[in-house]
Amino acid sequence: MDAEHESQEIEDVVARVHARFPDVSPQDVREQVRAELGRHGDATVRDFVPVLVEHAVMDTLRASARPTDLPTEAS
């Protein structure tokens, strides 16, 4: 994967993650994506880096999301 194609893939990742987590600003999503991308900086095979980055960022955001759809316990 060339650098230009990877850059477009990363922008697509930012858009998809932001669509799934609209309460998180696009800037915050982009920062998390860049941080995760840095963890894969030494990868020799780059084809799967955008997918790995997307999954890691989504996992992080899911873990930090507040559970709003959970039923409350009755007293």
Identify whether 29 is part of a domain.
yes
- Per-residue pLDDT of 13-71, as tens digits, reads 999 999 999 999 999 999 999 999 999 989 998 899 999 999 999 999 999 876 555 45
Q: Quick one: CA torsion of 34, 37, 38, 41, rounded to 10 degrees?
A: -150
- Per-residue pLDDT of 3-13, as tens digits, reads 788 889 999 99
Amino acid at 60: T
Identify whether 73 is part of a domain.
no
What is the C-alpha end-to-end distance of the chain, expressed in Å?
Answer: 57
Check residue 11 and give its pLDDT.
93
Task: Give the CATH number of the domain where residue 50 resides.
Answer: 1.10.8
Identify whether 42 is part of a domain.
yes
Residues near 27 by beta carbon (within 8 Å), at least 6 away in sequence:
none
| Tally of structural domains, the chain | 1
Domain that holds residue 23: 3-64
Identify whether 69 is part of a domain.
no
Identify whether 74 is part of a domain.
no
- Cβ–Cβ under 8 Å, residues 30 and 14: yes
| pTM check: above 0.85 | no
Identify whether 71 is part of a domain.
no
